């Protein structure tokens, strides 16, 4: 595994991070035994940055991660969690809360769930348009003074909000969706992060499994798999997306790697400080993804891939309207 610094926070993290969300909900049935196996394999292979959120299975995901971390040397890990999305149990619908009171209340609950005295990187999961970002970041900076968090992160905000937040307290990381299928951040957010010295944590780097060999025409998802409701995976969009997927699969075969490995290597080859946040649910998929850290792409290969992606853009929105709440605020 390779390592890098998280923004200007002084925190050293693995070149690839592991997102734990899918180990608790959203993508179908999954056992705790499999989750523990995947987490232990990640640790064995040098991953030190782990990501969760208080709204993932209503705290169960944080508790799962905490159970594993307590078995190891705490100082070896950078634990990241998020607050701000408020959901009722069993429902996808949400509201956004960035009030100072909620910041502190959520932090205390996450510390308890994780079994930690301090959270390394604490994100606002979505920006609350009804609360000035200065107030939210101000409350988070107080948590730093109290020794409850070490660094501040923001997820899915716009450029103006990021600048305002960074002016209150240095932001260590921006977490936003970015992949071959979702390239919106290239216009503004990636250059801005580079300017401000903020690491860009790219979630869904394999586009929720879209950039994998498993997606085929007529693919269906079980009722408890979120992808069955997302526009990008609708039958019509899936048919359109297979055109570019088949080309990318040919490129991966020519490179002697899998499409997920190619997708992750493509992200890490960009001229920015990007940390892919892979969401592998099984140890075999995780180990496959880790190999991408050593996969180098030449400038010629990058140009070829970018030409394909420009000529064949992916179809379908990445979220439903409900899922878009708080994005780009």
Structure tokens at 225: 């798999």
| Spatial contact of 125 and 53, defined as CB atoms under 8 Å apart | yes
Structure tokens at 201: 């944590």
- Output DSSP code: residue 73: -
The DSSP-derived string for 35-62 is HHHHHHHHHHTT--EEE--TTGGGGHHH
For residues 45 and 309, what is the distance between their CA atoms, to the nearest angstrom? 31
- C-alpha distance from residue 201 to each of 20, 26, 198, 244 (Å): 14, 20, 9, 25
For residues 261 and 235, what is the distance between their CA atoms, to the nearest angstrom? 25
- C-alpha distance from residue 317 to each of 21, 147, 207 (Å): 21, 40, 11
Beta-ladder partners of 60: none
Alpha helices of 121-188 — where are they, by DSSP H? 133-145, 159-168
Q: Is 56 a catalytic residue?
A: yes
| Spatial contact of 277 and 205, defined as CB atoms under 8 Å apart | yes
For residues 121 and 136, what is the distance between their CA atoms, to the nearest angstrom? 15
- Output DSSP code: residue 179: S
For residues 239 and 210, what is the distance between their CA atoms, to the nearest angstrom? 12
- C-alpha distance from residue 220 to each of 226, 279, 307 (Å): 11, 20, 30
Angle, vertex CA 157, rays to CA 209 and CA 60, nearest 5: 55
Give me the helix-helix angle, 189-196 and 159-168, nearest 10°: 20
Kindly name the residue from 27, 56, 102, 203 that is annotated as catalytic: 56
Residues with a catalytic annotation lie at 56
């Amino acid at each position: 595994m390779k390592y890098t610094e998280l923004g200007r926070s002084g925190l050293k993290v693995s070149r690839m991070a592991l997102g734990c969300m899918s180990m608790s909900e959203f993508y179908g049935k999954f056992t705790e035994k499999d989750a523990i196996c995947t987490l232990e394999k990640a640790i064995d292979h040098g991953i030190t940055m782990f990501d969760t959120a208080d709204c993932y299975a209503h705290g169960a995901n944080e508790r799962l991660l905490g159970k594993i971390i307590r078995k190891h040397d705490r100082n070896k890990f950078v634990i990241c969690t998020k607050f701000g999305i408020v959901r009722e149990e069993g429902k996808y619908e949400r509201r956004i809360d960035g009030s100072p009171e909620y910041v502190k209340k959520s932090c205390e609950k996450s510390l308890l769930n994780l079994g930690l005295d301090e959270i390394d990187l604490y994100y606002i999961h979505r920006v609350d348009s009804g609360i000035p970002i200065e107030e939210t970041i101000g409350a988070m900076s107080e948590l730093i003074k109290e020794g409850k968090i070490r660094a501040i992160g923001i997820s899915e905000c716009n450029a103006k909000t990021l600048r305002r937040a960074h002016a209150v307290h240095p932001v260590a990381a921006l977490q936003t969706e970015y992949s071959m299928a979702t390239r919106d951040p290239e216009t503004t957010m990636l250059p801005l992060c580079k300017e401000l010295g903020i690491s860009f944590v790219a979630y869904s780097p394999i586009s929720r499994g879209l950039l994998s060999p498993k997606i085929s025409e007529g693919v269906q998802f079980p009722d408890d798999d979120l992808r069955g409701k997302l526009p990008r995976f609708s039958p019509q969009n899936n048919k359109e997306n297979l055109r570019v997927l088949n080309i990318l699969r040919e490129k991966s075969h020519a490179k002697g790697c899998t499409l997920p490995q190619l997708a992750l290597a493509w992200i890490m080859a960009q001229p920015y400080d990007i940390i892919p946040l892979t969401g592998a649910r099984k140890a075999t998929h995780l180990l496959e993804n880790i190999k991408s850290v050593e996969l180098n792409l030449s400038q010629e290969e990058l140009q070829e891939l970018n030409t394909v992606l420009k000529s064949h853009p992916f179809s379908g929105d990445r979220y439903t309207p409900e899922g878009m709440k708080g994005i780009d605020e």
